[in-house]
Structure 1
Amino acid sequence: MATRRKNTNRRKPSPGGRKPLITLLVVILLIAGIFFLLERVKSRTPLQIPAVPPAAMERQKIPSRSAETPVILREYTSVVIPPAPKKKPLPRVAGPGTVAIVIDDMGSSMEEARQLLAINLPLTFSIIPGLAKSRSVAEEVHAKGRQVMLHIPMEPKGFPQRKLEKNGLLLSESSADIERQMAEYLQTVPHAVGANNHMGSSFTENGEKMEVVLKVLQGKGLYFIDSKTSSASVGYSLAKKMGMRAASRQVFLDNTLDVAAITSQLDQVAALARKRGSAIAICHPHRQTIQALAAAMPRMQREGIRFVAASELVN
């Protein structure tokens, strides 16, 4: 029997033919791994981020800065404290009391005078002599039945660095010069029935000079109200010693030019008037003051306050 010869031409499997199979297996494993990871992520509980109230977000706003300055954002970890509740305003006290309000520094504007006259309640107009509208304001105020006072410009502390009207009374002047100036004042402010000092923190402390002024007022039958621009003023005490009708200011209304602040001062005057029977307040023809007076005076009248001319509260 003849021996079969082996086919020496048959090819052996090539090692390179296994590579596509291995690559395919790797891809399949990768895809399976990705799906596995996705399932694990879905199965986890999502992170709960607490909602921040709008008010807290407002508190956490970063202040604006210039374009050159880098903004560093920081997380706020402190507890947000809610604002304290607003206190309820105390009820207004009603009751009787008499108040005189003196408007100082009048004489530069007719419009200011007319706005104050339109409030239609007793106000006393104290006019600086020698201003552009001094005579006109005095005439119109008098015609409307309101009281006119002479607002006497007097030397303040810090003069001359602290300004004073050119016709103001100075401590360096003689008694004759002061008397002459007082006569001129009364010519430019007709219908004046009383007077008070404009500035004068130095002048009103000097008894000798004040006596000259008060004698002129006394000779004309005018009363004097001490504006108390100095706690050491002798104006009121000297006037009383001379037998004049006199009084002192209790409250300044508009040292702070804010309607709410001026209204608060008016309420203080009302409380003082209820406690002691009467009170004198001084203010100026600022826009904020006129607005506060126009709103508060009718309300105060409804609450029992009686408004009068300044002459009713001097004795």
Structure 2
Amino acid sequence: MATDDLNKPLGLPRERKAHRTPLVALVAPPLLIAIGLIAFFAFGDGPDDPGNVVAAIDDTSPDQTGSVGPALTPVYEAQSEPLVEVKPTGGLREVRGNDVIISDPSKPRPIRLAAAPFEDLIEADENGLLPRIGDDGTRPLDAYARPAGATEGMKRIAIVVGGIGIEGEAGQSAIASLPGEVTLGIVPYGEDLPATVAEARALGHEILLQLPMEPYNYPDIDPGPNTLTVAGGTAKNLDRLRWLLAQTTTYVGVMNYMGARFTGDDRALAPILGDIADRGLLFLDDGSSARSRVGAFASDSAPVIRADLVLDGDTAPAAIDARIKQLVAIARERGYAVATATAFPSTIARISAFARVAEENGIALVPVSSLVRADGS
């Protein structure tokens, strides 16, 4: 718009005849407008002003990847009232008494899980905070689990993606882009595990802690510090287990990280699984070793589940898709299936693609805890 256009009366052509306007007439209107704007912003939206009514659409439903979309889209209640924007501060803040929140019932709110442990579900030792069963019998497995949602008439699939905390950008991508129903495996060696766990749980992911266990060819193949070993003996392995468990909190259970040799040895395995069960945690066998003996220790008091397959032994997208098809076939035959994977970019992409079409194909993605809690095992 040309500068002269600002001086036209609305809808009328500008007169061609030259006309001198007194300086005060030119300066006074803008000055009055500026004073009015300053007064409005200084006094018009104070906390005691009862005249401002807000309508804010609650649009916090998950998008197709499970991440949280725009929190609040403000709309005008009336043209005569100024707009007051309600901004989220990590969640919906407590609105003022004259604010109005409009929720869309067709869009369920995203599930956010707390990252602070319950006081009665932890005990302190020299290593830090360890999980325990509460005095009322509440298990960490139950207290920190993600709700499974409605699955009636659907086949259930649980997918656990591990390597979170040491996989850098891929791990962050898994947290942010995978649906909240996908359980994440946290490695106990991350630089900032509390922040990683908090971010994951804020986006609805329940957590398993990955325990380093002795593989064949150890120590040439070394899972990391405080690995549980067959030769270590019960006392040393339990000391190492306590160190590992104290590295973070709010997980529903643990899973093996490597460990083909350790999980195949009953004598080494029994005290570890016993301690884990006594703490109210589940144990997931990641399905990587055919010699694993973990399933032999399952009982009502020791929640144990074994993955049916590993999705990304071959990280090519076509190979991952083929494994997902096998997983679906297992779920359709048995009613449920479990898979594990690692936070590789191709793995994250293919799981995300599957998640977008799972429901329309009769598949419900569920957290792994729901499969061991459903029958009390």
User: Quick check: TM above 0.5?
Assistant: yes
* Partner SS state of residue 254, structure 2: strand
Q: What is the CA-CA distance between 1:189 and the residue it aligns to?
A: 2.5
d(CA) in 1 for partners of 2:260, 2:158 = 23
* Partner SS state of residue 158, structure 2: strand
Q: Which runs of 5+ in 2 are unaligned?
A: 1-152
Asked whether 1:212 is paired with 2:271, we answer: yes
* Partner SS state of residue 289, structure 2: coil
1:292 alignment partner AA: R
**Which of 182, 192, 216 in structure 1 is aligned with 2:251?**
192
d(CA) in 1 for partners of 2:223, 2:209 = 16
* Partner SS state of residue 314, structure 2: coil
Aligned match of 1:243: 301
Aligned match of 2:161: 103
Asked whether 1:265 is paired with 2:323, we answer: yes
d(CA) in 2 for partners of 1:229, 1:313 = 19
Aligned match of 1:82: none
* Partner SS state of residue 104, structure 1: strand
What TM-score comes out, normalization by structure 2 length?
Answer: 0.55
Cα-to-partner distance string for 1:217-251 (whole Å, 9 max, x where unaligned) = 112100111123322211121133x7311111101
Q: Which runs of 5+ in 1 are unaligned?
A: 1-94
**Which of 271, 292, 302 in structure 2 is aligned with 1:233?**
292
Aligned match of 1:37: none
Q: What is the CA-CA distance between 1:286 and the residue it aligns to?
A: 0.4
Q: What is the CA-CA distance between 1:110 and the residue it aligns to?
A: 5.7
Structure that is richer in helix per residue: 1
d(CA) in 2 for partners of 1:254, 1:136 = 27
1:183 alignment partner AA: R
2:264 alignment partner AA: E
Aligned match of 1:306: 364
Ranked by relative contact order (alpha carbons within 8 Å, sequence separation 6 or more), the top structure is 1
Cα 1:229/1:118, change in 2 over 3 Å: closer
Q: What is the CA-CA distance between 1:161 and the residue it aligns to?
A: 2.1
Conserved in 2, the CA contact under 8 Å of 1:252 and 1:283?
A: yes
1:13-92 equivalent positions in 2, closer than 5 A: none
d(CA) in 2 for partners of 1:108, 1:273 = 31
Say which one has the larger Rg.
1
Q: Which moved more, 1:114-123 or 1:254-263?
A: 114-123
d(CA) in 1 for partners of 2:189, 2:310 = 24
Conserved in 2, the CA contact under 8 Å of 1:121 and 1:307?
A: no
What TM-score comes out, normalization by structure 1 length?
Answer: 0.66
Taking only the aligned residue pairs, the percentage that are identical comes to 27
Aligned pairs, number: 220
Cα-to-partner distance string for 1:142-178 (whole Å, 9 max, x where unaligned) = 2222111011100001112223212211112131221
Q: What is the CA-CA distance between 1:138 and the residue it aligns to?
A: 1.8
d(CA) in 2 for partners of 1:230, 1:289 = 20
